[in-house]
Structure 1
């Protein structure tokens, strides 16, 4: 009994000492300009922890934490979300969690893991932009890799100059951070929800601190870190082959995009000979130009397989590369840039510490060489071997970090897997379940890509799992669908593509002249309609022409608005190409309105322009501004 009391006392002393090394401090919202988040029941924190958990009395780092309070007073165990990447931001996505189904009965805890997001220190936050600049250039694969290694090592040196301990940024350190956070928040157990690389972190945490875990949700899971990079090309090809097969078996897709597999591989060969250069906004690329070579093309298609909606338009996208549609490919650049939004200093600390040392470059190349038509693997990922070979130069790699993920603890496990996922494919889910003695519940989304939990269906499934409610077929009905809804019958239109880009990249006031002009045209429509009715059969030609012109412009605008809104609801990626052909009426209305605008202007100029110069100048200036926004849509 005395011995038990002694060990209890020792444990209490240890906990007191450990807690003294951390500090949780309430702060103001990380989004001071968001009225919605300021009014919400969210606690924002700064959490100070040791940078090196083996040297707890030395340097501290600061983690950003957000606790979204449950909407019910009687709540269940909290859910802590672990972002992937590694290097992905978490708190930046707070709005996604505000109305998440889980929040009804659970607090949602978001943490910017060390070296990411609002946490400090920040690890080379601009490195992704430098990578994108490298990709945008028309240069060889060897030069791309050389430049990537150069800027990555500059990042490494910059972190060393700041006194950052590179070896302290790994999954084990994160596990200690989270365990300390759980204790200081006075949480007994929580539900751990990891996505992508966050599933590897989560499994490490569950192995080290099993008593902290109520349940484990692994979305797009990693079962074994030593195969994560090695099998990258094989995993990509599994998803790509499924795409080709699905399109071939779909009558409409196969008719509109015949020989898709052949087109894909032929495009690789063509881009190796002659890359495609497109003009883009300088806010995206400083030079204002992006050149797609074969490697850029391969990684663009690979990244598109992450998203269900993008999978639906992939045959169309592959054909746009074939047809060298520069307008569409320019629009793609902006979406492509989002793939490099990780905190890459953090990415390489984790990757070079605990991934690449356990992956085999020779095996990677051996697997890639099997796919002759692909002309090698994906240099975007292969280059990580080159970066890490020098990143880890002259330093010891702690092999013990690659702990076994086998776990026979009794907490329940949910595993979500997308059928087209090119980085954590379906067989990863089965292997992950083996880590838990085959006790993991696997939910497949056959037509989905990466991160199923971000969908409405996925969120509901996770909620039911956490709350021990049945996951019925009706709940999984969208995941159970096996046919891809490939998008066919799309009318390509560079104007729609341009407007979509403008709405994304330009400030709202860019569209003020258009809105004012449309209001003026609406007033003209009402006044001319009233004039025509009041004349009782005596119609003045120029008034009637103004009425028709304003009517057509309004009809065009309404029909275009309805088409864009409908497409946004169905698949917003289509706006990077044009609109479904059922909205072709909008384009026809515009052509007629343009012709009628010219006729009306000429007749008004000849007949009545001088009688009321200010009025007609205002009217035709408004019409002219509308055409300024839409004129180049149709190559006039």
Structure 2
């Protein structure tokens, strides 16, 4: 795609952040409201549309219209190198997930525009979303049901789902860059978005000025292969801290043992419990069985705020009062379920990871067990597999300045993953937030550090002592909160 404006023109071109409409290169942006499904998070930004071929090898074939978002810089003369935000999942829409993390970009927006585009398969007009039957939502579907769900989902799409892999999706990012006038980008990726960011840097190194990788996925990793052991390590640390604190251990004993006791109890005697929906207050039946306990433990470990509730809710459930646990779990699960486009997720994982997945005997009796691997292998048995670029699973080797971010207690992308990626990036630095979970950008002083890094491109020069004040949230000892 031919660029209409060169990068040095871009900063001048974007000088009026509150204009009702603005042109960035070939794209016209107009005001829009972006909201996150399942939450009240909404923000007023600007949107445009980027048209790309569904199959890059057939430029005259079917087209996809991708929604592009712009969070304008506050400066009247923005820098010429914008920040590109890449969402996670796989399966999250960038324009839908940005409102929940917008605060993390506050300092970056002082000088630079933040731009993002819905990854193919996640946005309006090309969404690869599947309806989850009740059994799937509860984690209790049989192998046959899982395969049937994948077949039914596939049959409902008017799309070549093989063209929705990471290797194809990064061609859309380059099309966006060219449409903007070919500026060099400061690329931020969170979670699965770090895989996309690394693949973009591999395929289009001249387009990348810097990388910010948050909740890092190594290219060598098969997604899902270590979810079980990573969650276990996180739960041991989170719940072990409660057992080591006098007030928490006096109230709840050993919550890690309680978790397994509740799992065993739910396995042998599953319960159907009627609770008040936490949003509508209407009566709702929820099941407390073994898969439900695994889902609850996993979701609550993602952030320090929900982790702080876990000992109390586990204790109440183990004593025959699971209503609060299930209601809180429904609140978290419902807010996430609408954000993931499962068909797009399958297009990514089946092509890039499934061939390297296998159930592991050592994981079988852990809280998460082999559930995720089993679901993936069953559904991928009938899902088309698209292109994966050469060297996709090799470490990214680059001298691009890189800042890597991790939460100490992240249950899905632990800090060791970022260390692994940093080993082949000589101009990189890894920062870890104490007591934090998945995604660090919006925590503490991280927004300032990210902006300073992008300004100076000197990760080693960052004064990151401010992160030392971070820590885990105090445990709730009752429904009024932590002890004073």
State the TM-score, normalized to the length of structure 2.
Answer: 0.84
2:149 to 124, 130, 151: 151
Tell me which residue corresponds to 1:134.
135
Residues 408 and 433 of structure 2 are in contact (CA less than 8 Å); yes or no, is this contact kept in structure 1? Answer: yes
Residues 444 and 467 of structure 2 are in contact (CA less than 8 Å); yes or no, is this contact kept in structure 1? Answer: no
Tell me which residue corresponds to 1:324.
320
Distance of 2:35 and 2:143 partners within structure 1: 40
Distance of 1:387 and 1:235 partners within structure 2: 23
Distance of 1:81 and 1:54 partners within structure 2: 26
Distance of 1:581 and 1:434 partners within structure 2: 40
Provide the secondary structure at the position in 1 that maps to 2:128: coil
Distance of 1:46 and 1:485 partners within structure 2: 41
**Aligned pair 1:191/2:183, yes or no?**
no
Residues 360 and 370 of structure 2 are in contact (CA less than 8 Å); yes or no, is this contact kept in structure 1? Answer: no
Tell me which residue corresponds to 1:430.
419
Distance of 1:237 and 1:382 partners within structure 2: 18
Tell me which residue corresponds to 2:258.
263
Residues 69 and 107 of structure 1 are in contact (CA less than 8 Å); yes or no, is this contact kept in structure 2? Answer: yes
Tell me which residue corresponds to 1:31.
33
Structure 1 pair 433/33, CA: closer, same or farther in 2 (3 Å)? closer
1:88 to 92, 98, 114: 92
Provide the secondary structure at the position in 2 that maps to 1:467: helix
Q: Name whichever of 336-345 and 467-476 sits farther off.
A: 467-476
Tell me which residue corresponds to 1:515.
none
**Aligned pair 1:387/2:385, yes or no?**
no
Structure 1 pair 444/94, CA: closer, same or farther in 2 (3 Å)? closer
Kindly state the Cα deviation for residue 180 of structure 1 after the two structures are TM-superposed: 1.2
**Aligned pair 1:351/2:353, yes or no?**
no
Tell me which residue corresponds to 1:251.
246
Kindly state the Cα deviation for residue 327 of structure 1 after the two structures are TM-superposed: 3.1
2:433 to 434, 445, 449: 445
Tell me which residue corresponds to 1:108.
114
- Per-residue deviation, residues 470-519 of structure 1 (Å, max 9, x unmatched): 5324431334x4xx3432432xxxxxxxxxxxxxxxxxxxxxxxxxxxxx
Distance of 2:447 and 2:353 partners within structure 1: 29
2:291 to 290, 295, 304: 295
Distance of 1:344 and 1:452 partners within structure 2: 25
RMSD of Structure 2 on Structure 1 (CA)? 3.1
Tell me which residue corresponds to 1:467.
455
Kindly state the Cα deviation for residue 350 of structure 1 after the two structures are TM-superposed: 1.1
Tell me which residue corresponds to 1:625.
none
Kindly state the Cα deviation for residue 51 of structure 1 after the two structures are TM-superposed: 0.6
Tell me which residue corresponds to 1:455.
443
**Aligned pair 1:168/2:163, yes or no?**
yes
Provide the secondary structure at the position in 2 that maps to 1:475: helix
Structure 1 pair 382/440, CA: closer, same or farther in 2 (3 Å)? farther
**Aligned pair 1:274/2:269, yes or no?**
yes
Distance of 2:34 and 2:183 partners within structure 1: 32
Higher RCO (CA < 8 A, seq sep 6+): 2
- Per-residue deviation, residues 554-584 of structure 1 (Å, max 9, x unmatched): xxxxxxxxxxxxxxxxxxxxxxxx323889x
Distance of 2:464 and 2:72 partners within structure 1: 30
Residues 299 and 380 of structure 1 are in contact (CA less than 8 Å); yes or no, is this contact kept in structure 2? Answer: no
Distance of 2:193 and 2:259 partners within structure 1: 32
Distance of 1:582 and 1:413 partners within structure 2: 40
Distance of 2:447 and 2:33 partners within structure 1: 24
Unaligned runs of 5+ in 2: 4-24
Residues 66 and 118 of structure 2 are in contact (CA less than 8 Å); yes or no, is this contact kept in structure 1? Answer: yes
Distance of 1:331 and 1:33 partners within structure 2: 23
Kindly state the Cα deviation for residue 272 of structure 1 after the two structures are TM-superposed: 0.6
Kindly state the Cα deviation for residue 405 of structure 1 after the two structures are TM-superposed: 4.2
Structure 1 pair 152/288, CA: closer, same or farther in 2 (3 Å)? farther
Tell me which residue corresponds to 1:310.
306
Provide the secondary structure at the position in 2 that maps to 1:246: helix
Structure 1 pair 231/345, CA: closer, same or farther in 2 (3 Å)? same
1:74 to 46, 54, 77: 77
1:35-74 aligned at under 5 Å gives the runs: 42-74=45-77
Kindly state the Cα deviation for residue 213 of structure 1 after the two structures are TM-superposed: 0.5
Residues 171 and 204 of structure 1 are in contact (CA less than 8 Å); yes or no, is this contact kept in structure 2? Answer: yes
- Per-residue deviation, residues 178-210 of structure 1 (Å, max 9, x unmatched): 111111111420100000000001000001111
Q: Name whichever of 335-344 and 172-181 sits farther off.
A: 335-344
Kindly state the Cα deviation for residue 249 of structure 1 after the two structures are TM-superposed: 2.0
Residues 219 and 416 of structure 1 are in contact (CA less than 8 Å); yes or no, is this contact kept in structure 2? Answer: yes
Residues 396 and 425 of structure 2 are in contact (CA less than 8 Å); yes or no, is this contact kept in structure 1? Answer: yes
| Rg larger for | 1
Kindly state the Cα deviation for residue 271 of structure 1 after the two structures are TM-superposed: 0.3
Whose strand fraction is larger, Structure 1's or Structure 2's?
Answer: 2
Whose helix fraction is larger, Structure 1's or Structure 2's?
Answer: 1
Residues 396 and 421 of structure 2 are in contact (CA less than 8 Å); yes or no, is this contact kept in structure 1? Answer: no
Kindly state the Cα deviation for residue 26 of structure 1 after the two structures are TM-superposed: 3.1
Kindly state the Cα deviation for residue 152 of structure 1 after the two structures are TM-superposed: 2.4
